[in-house]
Amino acid sequence: MAKIRWILLALLILMALNPLAAADTGVIEDSAGRSLEVEYPLDRVVVLTTPAAELIRAVGAADRVMAVSQTIAANEQYWPELSQRPVVSGSAMQEPDYEAIVTMQPQAVISYGTHPAVDIQAMADVLEPAGIAVIGIDGYKFDSLHADTALVGRLFGAADAAQEFTAFMEEIERETIRRRERIPSEARVSVYAESHSREYRGHGKGSEWQFILDSVGAENMLAGFDQAFLDVDPETLVQENPDFILKEAPRGLPMGYGQEVSSPVEEALAALYGRVGWQVLDAVGNENLYIISTDLGTGPGKFIALPYFGRILYPEHFEDISPAEYLEAYYEEFQGVPFSGFFVYPER
């Protein structure tokens, strides 16, 4: 009897040591709310989106990415390793090269889950019959970021690293809220936040920036509108006369990671100050116009936008916090790339 017990124990030890036994099949729920049976930890994946690639790199699993989209491959400075991988799609919004993917036999393909321009189920219909899991991971929305991070941790067998990343983001949010609580309600400022896409297209209540403005205790001039973005009548600005105007940097304006202040950025700010009729606005008279890089507040490190906005809108309450240090930690510790660049202009 004792002999059998020893044999059983030996078998158990063997099973634990066997690498095959470490693989686990489980049911996960992806960002799109789809229930999937996936075998993890994942070793061979194709990643089509930047936020998912950043999350995977943040949990230390970038070496398990075997192919990427052109969006990732094109940025060699930010993706020194992944830019060298085979490219199987133009961007997440385009149809990928299914034949190339099937030939590579990855365990999974990762793209956006809820992005309006991506039909994750259509991709799954093609790849699942070939035994390839298709997983939607957003990684770019405040309300799902922590869940997305946890999912990446689970899928890549890096739950601790994922937890560490989430703790980092939560600390930033906590520090911001703590300072917001100190701002008296009569000192709350109002903000007109303009989209990068065109003049007088503002951020409404449904936009991601609403979360940032709420977190720092500022009032969005267009919070009365449920949409993410809306075209606004210019005269409303004169009536509402917001304390601050924040303009999301138009695409192509050299701001953000790896950039240095240059004349196009200075000219863009001057063009904002020079907008027809804006001379009567308090935000213009008080020099409260800022351009915000789209690298801020968009990917998995998006909580770092909170203290940046805090420093712009309430300098006296946020002077003891250094948003740049958070960004430095994000880039150097979690992404493994050297920190450089400027993210708001004029710099705060």
Provide the minimum distance between the beta carbon of 307 and other proteins in the complex, in angstroms, as a whole number.
25
Residue 232 interacting with other proteins (CB under 8 A): yes
Whether the link from the prior residue into 250 is cis, omega within 30° of 0, is: no
- In the list 34, 41, 83, 250, the residue contacting other proteins (rule: CB under 8 A) is 250
Rounded to a whole number of angstroms, the minimum distance from the CB of residue 300 to other proteins is 18
Q: Is residue 27 within 8 Å of residue 114, measured between CB atoms?
A: no
Among 267, 316, 319, 333, binds other proteins (CB under 8 A): 267
Q: Shortest CA distance to 253 belongs to which of 322, 119, 168, 345?
A: 345
- Pairing relation of β-strands 256-257 and 341-342? antiparallel
DSSP character at residue 333? I
Please, are residues 293 and 342 in contact by the beta-carbon 8 Å criterion?
A: yes
184 binds other proteins (CB under 8 A): no
Piece in contact with other proteins (CB under 8 A), picked from 17-25, 146-154, 183-191, 235-243? 235-243
Q: Footprint of other proteins on residues 83-142 (CB under 8 A)?
A: 90-91, 93-94, 117
- With contacts defined by CB under 8 A, name the span among 29-37, 137-145, 175-183, 228-236 that binds other proteins: 228-236
Using CB under 8 A as the binding criterion, the count of chain residues that bind other proteins stands at 38
According to the binding rule CB under 8 A, does residue 236 interact with other proteins?
yes
| Binding of residue 226 to other proteins (CB under 8 A) | no
Provide the β-strand partners of residue 342.
Answer: 256
Q: Which is nearer to other proteins, 77 or 227 (CB)?
A: 227
Judged on CB neighbours under 10 Å (0-12, 13-18, 19+), 346 is middle
Nearest to 330 by CA among 317, 346, 343: 343
Q: What residue has token string 């030890």?
A: 13
3-class secondary structure, 147: helix
* Among 105, 121, 279, 322, contact with other proteins (rule: CB under 8 A): 279
Contacts with other proteins, 27-66, as mask; x by CB under 8 A? ----------------------------------------
Does 263 help bind other proteins (rule: CB under 8 A)? no
State which H helix or E strand residue 210 sits in. helix 208-216
Our finding on whether 271 is near other proteins (CB under 8 A) is: yes
Q: How far is the CB of 337 from other proteins (least distance, A)?
A: 22
Q: 279: which DSSP letter?
A: G
Among 154, 247, 311, 317, binds other proteins (CB under 8 A): 247
Considering only the stretches 12-20, 165-173, 207-215, 226-234, report the one whose residues sit in contact with other proteins under the rule CB under 8 A. 226-234
Question: β-strand 289-292 against 344-345: which pairing, if any?
Answer: antiparallel
Of 253, 283, 289, 312, the one binding other proteins (CB under 8 A) is 253
Q: What are residue 23's phi and psi, to 5 degrees?
A: -65, 140
- Span of 24-32, 43-51, 211-219, 239-247 interacting with other proteins by CB under 8 A: 239-247
- The secondary structure element, H or E, covering residue 37 is strand 35-40
Q: Which residues contact 44 (CB under 8 A, 6 or more apart)?
A: 64, 66, 104, 105, 106, 107
Which two tokens mark 316? 């006296």
- Closest separation between CB of residue 251 and other proteins, Å? 5
Binding site for other proteins (CB under 8 A): 90-91, 93-94, 117, 196-200, 222, 225, 230-236, 238-239, 241, 247, 250-253, 264, 267-268, 270-272, 274, 276-277, 279-280
